[in-house]
Structure 1
Amino acid sequence: MNPKSCLNCGHKISDEFCSHCGQKADTARITPQTLIKTDILGSIWHIEARFFRTVKHILFGPGRMAMDYISGKRIKYYNLFSLLLILFGFNVLTMHFYLHLNPAEIPEGSSNILDFFSKYSKTILFVIIPMLAVNAFFVFKRKKLNIAEHFIIGTVSLLGILILLLFNDMVSLIGLWKPAAKIFAILDKASVVLLALFPAVTYWNAFKNSYSKPGLLWRVSVLYVLMGIESLAVIIVLFRIF
């Protein structure tokens, strides 16, 4: 049987994919059937499956997922930086809807502070990644990861924070319905606790096989102290400048 030629680049195909450009060997003329099955439904399912798989791994095994990603196991995950932008956009939308539907939640005299955080929230959030990366590079030095690899762990940690923030905003929105207010107030407080603990969970999950529990505990504690001091400094500087 003669090998087929790739319709994209013209190279001979002997396997499922073209070894030169990566296009699938079964690519053929577009028909109504293939348009619906492959081009529309197939692409949507492929994107959604990777998206939700990545979200699941971030929530239930963030450190392990980050280490897998660093080690080269990336095909099953959605692009981390695209996911970061998507989640940030959803967070901005849900917060906007919440404040629009519940203006009483804005304390008197705090509009300037809210305007500041609304305008510079992206800067504040995204500066968390390099801060986490630099601090963790020194705190977890025994692992011998480079700064870019620590950047990935920091990104996964921030993704988890954004997912929990989105959950928190959605809980707050549903909590505006009075009959469910008490239940969702409890969920709201629980999600805030998870938000605060998520970076610790990420680094514990990533390095639990590299350090003893006491060694890992003091390193995570030092990381939190450094992040708290640096985050406060960034907020003060931005607030005074702008």
Structure 2
Amino acid sequence: MAEKQQCLNCDSELTTAYCGVCGQKASTHRFSFKEVVITDFMHGIFHLDKGFFFTLKELVTRPGHSIREYVQGKRASHFSYFTLLVILITISFLVSKLAEINIAEIYQKNGQGVFSEIQAFQSKYPRGFLLVSIPIYSIFSFLFFRKSKLNFAENMVLNCYRTAAEYLFTIVFYIACVFMKNIDLISVSYAFLQVLVLIYMIVFYYQFFSEYYQNKILLFLKTVLVSVLITVMSTVIIIFAIGVYASN
């Protein structure tokens, strides 16, 4: 009589190639050098290249169109939206340390002292910032582009990708700051970054929702209005949320 096998993950009895309780593969074994280096490591690199860099390219070259296709079902080639966002946030944080610049000082120099509070909160609580900002962005896009009939979750996905692209621009800015030491030049560059992010938001929304609106002029005007409102109102709401959080 064959000896009964138990799942190494949850100790449940195994009757098939996969555990019926936790789903782990039954043939789990010790790691070998070949498996780690040749199989897992190399596969991880090429899988990352296939999805990660493809998605970055799409977010730069045809942002709205590619993410609309993703939402509609073409997902095999794209990297996970939230994982991408977390990776870019992490890279942005690491590169910012190399740049050794004080964003709060830049805000003060550009007459935007109030935004230093957002930057401080974002740096200290990156996940908390996302929990506040992404839903706010999604509420605006959900309400203003109701004609698309996308649900709130789908708006969360598209705004995760849009925010990821904005972090990509921020990473480029921080890399440039590694070589720039003049605070005036950095301040001008940061102001340019803010304008670039706004333009990108307009292009992203225009491309994404272009399939749902026949009147392209009206759509363009709407995307400009929504992008400006999102920038202004979300900032106000986030500052309010930070104030409530700080008071507690």
TM-score (norm 2): 0.70
Picking from 10, 13, 17, the partner of 1:10 is 17
Alpha-carbon deviation of 1:45? Answer: 1.6
CA distance in 1, matches of 2:113, 2:220: 39
CA distance in 2, matches of 1:40, 1:157: 29
Please tell me whether the aligned partners of residues 63 and 205 of structure 1 are also in contact (alpha carbons under 8 angstroms). Answer: yes
Picking from 160, 164, 168, the partner of 2:169 is 164
SS at match of 1:230: helix
SS at match of 2:77: coil
Question: What is aligned with 1:139?
Answer: 144
Please tell me whether the aligned partners of residues 104 and 119 of structure 2 are also in contact (alpha carbons under 8 angstroms). Answer: no
CA distance in 2, matches of 1:132, 1:231: 7
Question: What is aligned with 1:5?
Answer: none
CA distance in 2, matches of 1:107, 1:134: 30
Mind listing any 5+ residue stretches in structure 2 that lack a counterpart?
A: 1-14
Alpha-carbon deviation of 1:136? Answer: 1.4
Q: Read off the aligned partner of 1:56 and give its amino acid letter.
A: K
Picking from 187, 208, 211, the partner of 2:210 is 208
CA distance in 2, matches of 1:120, 1:209: 34
1:37 aligns with 2:38: yes
Alignment of 1:196-235 (within 5 A): 196-211=198-213, 212-235=215-238
1:88 aligns with 2:76: no
CA distance in 2, matches of 1:33, 1:89: 30
**Cα distance, 1:48–1:106 mapped onto 2, change above 3 Å:** same
Cα-to-partner distance string for 1:204-237 (whole Å, 9 max, x where unaligned): 1112233222111221123124313422322432
Please tell me whether the aligned partners of residues 148 and 212 of structure 2 are also in contact (alpha carbons under 8 angstroms). Answer: yes
Question: What is aligned with 1:3?
Answer: none
Alpha-carbon deviation of 1:62? Answer: 1.6
Identity over the aligned pairs, expressed in percent? 21
Mind listing any 5+ residue stretches in structure 1 that lack a counterpart?
A: 1-7, 12-20
CA distance in 2, matches of 1:175, 1:62: 29
Picking from 152, 161, 168, the partner of 2:157 is 152
**Cα distance, 1:22–1:50 mapped onto 2, change above 3 Å:** farther
Alpha-carbon deviation of 1:52? Answer: 0.9
Alpha-carbon deviation of 1:100? Answer: 5.9
Q: Read off the aligned partner of 2:218 and give its amino acid letter.
A: G
Alpha-carbon deviation of 1:175? Answer: 2.4
Alpha-carbon deviation of 1:88? Answer: 1.0
Question: What is aligned with 1:195?
Answer: 197
224-233 or 158-167, which moves further after superposition?
224-233
Q: Read off the aligned partner of 1:157 and give its amino acid letter.
A: R
139-148 or 110-119, which moves further after superposition?
110-119
RMSD of aligned residue pairs (Cα, Å):
3.8
